[in-house]
Structure 1
């Protein structure tokens, strides 16, 4: 006796193509997709199908486009960004390492993320991820050196590491990438070297940019709480030393990176909360992708990501959890829920597409399609 097909329905259906559909569904016969589309059409075309309410979303699994797995043994703390860096990240650095990365990777696997973009600080962690991770995506080697006098030395050691690690890349695993840490923690000389190298070698890049309002103040005036925090952490270096120019009204982190030629390498820009309209246009014109981390932005008092402006400019947005120290969990589904809450005026379908299509573009992955003839995957039924 032939079993009846099942019609799974949800508020949002994303097939991996185009714009997600409101009140959509998927007809599944055995383990094969028979049809996907608006619920009303499927109900009419497949009257014999047994309807099952799947929840809010049916879609290929989301991507966690920005993580710090090696910080997974940190405790969550909510502080202004310029206090959080020294009081949490630096003060707790003894907790950062391989055990944290292993704990974090287990959390990523439990979350059902299709892929990830992870920022890696320890060489041991990089080697372990490249050889052991069953979650695909990109492992970005983080580089931090604000001193222009040591730029050449830092670049040479970075290139040597990258060239050695590339031999560890394997099909289905993580690819290697570069992450100049932030617009204000890498010297102008080193930024140019890293961007040129990444562009020539085809290495994907991620950079933390304009996360907190104090970063915008630093570029405009050279003053403010972030500038004061940096003066304590890197004594003897002025903001002008790091940037290779004086701060000025109208100068932003994005326009600064553009002037260095960094945007030509099409890095993924992470956070991008405290931006101007010109910053958004520059990112769009350069073809840069942007990752937002809504919970981290809230917990570090960064402000609200101007999602609608990015959408209007045609910038592809992705979602990331950041570290557990600022985002609480590494479950991208938690991040999606937070995005719906923190952006109530945004079409929720945009969040779903960002988590799937945007994230896949960041890490260079392929989105599986939910269409007639494809194999059905129960992971397409997202948790509530």
Structure 2
């Protein structure tokens, strides 16, 4: 008879409840015999051969926010309002299928159980829906700040989505929508996309409150992000004011979240990306609306955005997930790198919250299913997270 083995870890997450400290899993052959607190397992399975401790035993994490088609970009750390024009827009020629292929391979090699990818190129979307072996959601990114062209842009997005839905397949990526950000999509288009997403059952992701200057944009209509955004519009021949884009005058009491709530966008329960500069009132509104949030700690740090108020969101009961963002801001697409960075950036945060966010939070955002580590289930070596 094969001697059972006892895998031990500082953090054990079975996929159920909350992660526990000092846990373990007893494996007999390739089957889980027991999982739980280490002291109990040692007492109940004294014959088990104990293996060296790990930091985490858990189902694999999910990379809930990526930009695969930017994987040929060079990493650059700049303030967000400079990074957009100087890196993202300036490097558009590097976006496309070649980058997406490299990015998908990096996500797969990292051991991520799923992903949520923002897709900018139609050819990339078709390829991902047909070929990706990583499950999750591929969100079609929509940008158009001009209310006058909102209906035209919406009709084009709807036409593309109708065709792409035929490419969805079991075990592959589902189709979603991503109105890019609160200020790069007009108020009219935000409403149209949110209503359409609800009607079609399409998941949504929106970039919100990434940098402090976004709060300034809604409060005053000014600041570095507003100036950078309006200048980029002028370069395309479009003269717009912030008031024209958002359909009302900026005001001190207006935030990006209260704006989306006024438009009815939060009724679609979109996943809100970043939320670094959320106020306590924003957190309350997001919790009440039932919207999950994805944080990207390395990208937030590298783009000088501030620190996501993780504890506030957790206390309010908001589902938090973890993502890497693009290699241009997040350095790598390895979700385990992001977990380790989060532990370092949030030394006062219970590390178990990070593990749960990467697994349960990411799975809920991308619509997957967390495997359970429990008696009678098959054991997988993927449950042993890499140490570095």
Q: 1:318 aligns with which of 299, 308, 321?
A: 321
2:84 is equivalent to residue 85 of structure 1: yes
Query: In the alignment, what sits opposite 1:199?
Result: 198
Q: CA deviation at 1:231?
A: 1.5
1:158-201 deviation per Cα after TM superposition (whole angstroms, max 9, x unaligned) = 00000000000000000000000000000000000000000111
User: Equivalents in 2 of 1:22, 1:350: separation in Å?
Assistant: 12
Matched, 1:382 2:385: yes
Whole-angstrom distance in 1 between the partners of 2:319 and 2:231: 37
Corresponding residue of 2:371? 368
- 1:35-46 equivalences under 5 Å are 35-46=34-45
Instruction: State how 1:155-234 maps to structure 2 within 5 Å.
Output: 155-234=154-233
Q: 1:60 and 1:227 mapped to 2: Cα distance?
A: 42
Who is 2:277 aligned against?
274
Mapping of residues 61-72 of structure 1, within 5 Å = 61-72=60-71
**What are the ranges of 5 or more consecutive residues in structure 1 without an aligned counterpart?**
none
TM-score normalised by L of structure 1: 0.99
- SS of structure 2 residue aligned to 1:53: coil
In structure 2, the partner of 1:333 is 336
Aligned residues: 383
Tell me the alpha carbon deviations over residues 31-66 of structure 1, each in whole angstroms, 9 at most, x when there is no partner: 000000000100000000000124100000000000
Q: Distance in 2 between matches of 1:361 and 1:54?
A: 29
Q: Which SS does the other structure have where 1:139 is aligned? A: strand
Deviation digits for residues 108-163 of structure 1 (CA, Å, limit 9, x no counterpart): 01000000000000000000000000000000000000000000000000000000
Provide the secondary structure at the position in 2 that maps to 1:10.
strand
Larger mean CA deviation between 228-237 and 368-377 belongs to: 228-237
Give the 3-state SS of the residue equivalent to 1:159 in structure 2.
helix
Taking the aligned partners of 1:176 and 1:130, their CA distance within structure 2 comes to: 8
Distance 2:42 2:87 in 1: 53
1:167 partner SS = helix
Q: Which residue of 2 aligns with 1:255?
A: 258
Q: Secondary structure at the match of 2:305?
A: coil
Aligned-residue Cα RMSD (Å) equals: 0.4
How far off is 1:3 after superposition? 1.4
- Runs of 5+ in structure 2 lacking a partner? none
TM normalised by structure 2 equals: 0.98
Cα distance in 2, alignment partners of residues 171 and 305 from structure 1:
35
Does the aligned pair in 2 maintain the 1:54–1:381 contact within 8 Å?
no
